[in-house]
Amino acid sequence: MTDFVQSVAGVLIVALVLALSIALHEIGHLVPAKRFGVKVTQYMIGFGPTLWSTRRGETEYGVKWLPLGGYIRMIGMFPPGAGEDATHLRESSTGAFQTMAADARAVSAAEISPKDAERVFYRLPVPKKVVIMLGGPMMNLLIAVALLGVLLVGFGDPGQRATTTTLSVVNECILPADSTRTACGEGDPATPAAEAGVRPGDRIVSFAGEPVTAWSDVRLAIRERSGAATDMVVLRDGTEMTVSITPVETEVAALDVQGEVMLDAAGELQTVTAGFIGVAPLTRLEPQPVTAVPGFVADTVVGTAGIVVRLPQRMVDVAQASFGSEDRDPNGPIGIVGVGRLAGEISSIDEIELRDKAAGLLGLLGSLNVALFVFNLVPLLPLDGGHVAGALWEGLRRRIAFARGRKDPGPVDVAKALPIAYATSLLLVAMSVMLLYADIVRPISLRG
């Protein structure tokens, strides 16, 4: 496939999985709501004018023009005010916030017929309310577990790639260990590997007559053979070839016992004099056991939660990068357009093998569902976490009243929190617009 076709395919895959994730999120709310007897009048994917819908029983199922989210409509989300009947409300009192709450109660009451008076959401026990509202985020978590589980068990952990004895890079020239240059300049000496005709894709079979099975064997042997002509056997296109190579003595980065680059107390690179031939190994993903999946998912959730907690500062960073000269943090928040763009890049880069492309898309889609799970748990209306917080507060109020011998205070009047819900919605819209702009003018790219 051409780069364009592969890029489009990646974007379409993300769009399809995102739509499926939204649909399943709402099913996570729908199923327990119906199971607990709440009347659900709508199940919609998207917002705005209805594009298509059909009615099954008492519920209308449909798709709207803007497929960026979804919702189910349950009757009786807002309880009547004190002294009011669920289907007959008093005139609202003065005050903008009071009027807003009263109007919301009126709209809610208009949906409730006398025969449905016991099928309203606000009459449910607290545990059932929590189950319904957590159903959506938990569905995203299950999707994430499935996607990240396939990634980890079928491919491996992208953050822990194993080195092989196959060469991915053969440098043309020798650059100083502390050099920041990436291209050879006039007068730079050729590397021993380039002089010997070694090519990327060659697999080192033996070095100095000793078989090698791990890159650590190759690295150690090269470092110890500076200045000595050495036979190296490589496998190329199924045929073993012997090349003569003489590692040169040069300043190379010092490595610790784990093979990691060593830095001094000032953070400067430490170097040692050792043999060098100018090659780098190919890395690959290694499948992990199923038992590693929970920890992997947990780490992803914790990392995403850290981003969400610091979201205000992260959005400031996004704005500064979008309107200024600062680089955008590749680990920062990213919008749907940015996710689609990354999927397209993963699919179109020729240097990435098909296996790694599949792993990259799985990781991207799994992380997207983790983000949906974590973000929806933020305890602010209109997010699911806000409704959960309201239900838990209701349960706490009842326990306190019971402990003090007082009467049941009744359900929490969520309508009073509508100003917070509207403010949160406006903030979410503003952040979405900011991320959309950033993804267009200063996108995060795999190509740097």
> Six-digit token pair at 227?
């200045």
Over range 160-166, report the average pLDDT: 87
* 261 and 303 inside one domain: no
The kind and range of the H/E element at 34 are helix 3-35
Structural domain total, the chain: 2
Q: pLDDT confidence of 283, banded at 50, 70, 90?
A: confident
Higher pLDDT, 9 or 43: 43
Higher pLDDT, 275 or 143: 143
Higher pLDDT, 375 or 274: 375
Q: pLDDT confidence of 136, banded at 50, 70, 90?
A: very high
* 220 and 313 inside one domain: no
Asked if the model's pLDDT at residue 106 lies above 90, the reply is no
39-69 residue pLDDT tens? 999 999 988 899 999 999 999 999 998 877 8
Asked if the model's pLDDT at residue 439 lies above 80, the reply is yes
Residue 269 included in any domain:
yes
State residue 225's pLDDT score. Answer: 87
Residue 371 included in any domain:
yes
* 296 and 149 inside one domain: yes
* 271 and 167 inside one domain: yes
Q: Which residues are catalytic?
A: 26
Over range 238-245, report the average pLDDT: 93
Please tell me the least confidently modeled range out of 136-150, 172-186, 412-426. Answer: 172-186
Q: How far apart are CA 273 and CA 89, in angstroms?
A: 85
> Six-digit token pair at 429?
């819209």
Residue 389 included in any domain:
yes
State residue 369's pLDDT score. Answer: 95
Short-list 214, 209, 441, 413, CA closest to 318: 441
Q: How far apart are CA 291 and CA 335, in angstroms?
A: 32
Alpha carbon distances (Å) from 8 to 12, 105, 346, 348, 393:
6, 46, 11, 9, 47
Q: How far apart are CA 160 and CA 283, in angstroms?
A: 9
Please give the share of the chain, as a percent, with pLDDT higher than 90.
Answer: 44
At a CB cut-off of 8 Å and minimum separation 6, what does 173 contact?
A: 184, 185, 188, 189, 190, 191, 194, 278
User: 250 lies in which domain range?
Assistant: 162-284
Mean pLDDT of the chain: 85
Over range 120-147, report the average pLDDT: 96
Q: Are residues 36 and 128 in contact, defined by beta-carbon separation less than 8 angstroms?
A: yes
* 177 and 272 inside one domain: yes
State residue 85's pLDDT score. Answer: 52
The tally of CA atoms less than 13 A away on the side-chain side of residue 242 is 8
Asked if the model's pLDDT at residue 200 lies above 60, the reply is yes
Q: How far apart are CA 375 and CA 311, in angstroms?
A: 10
State residue 273's pLDDT score. Answer: 76
Residue 87 buriedness (CB in 10 A; 0-12 / 13-18 / 19+)? middle
* 266 and 323 inside one domain: no
* SS3 state of residue 284: strand
Short-list 285, 36, 314, CA closest to 153: 285
The kind and range of the H/E element at 154 are none
The one-letter code for the residue type at 119 is R
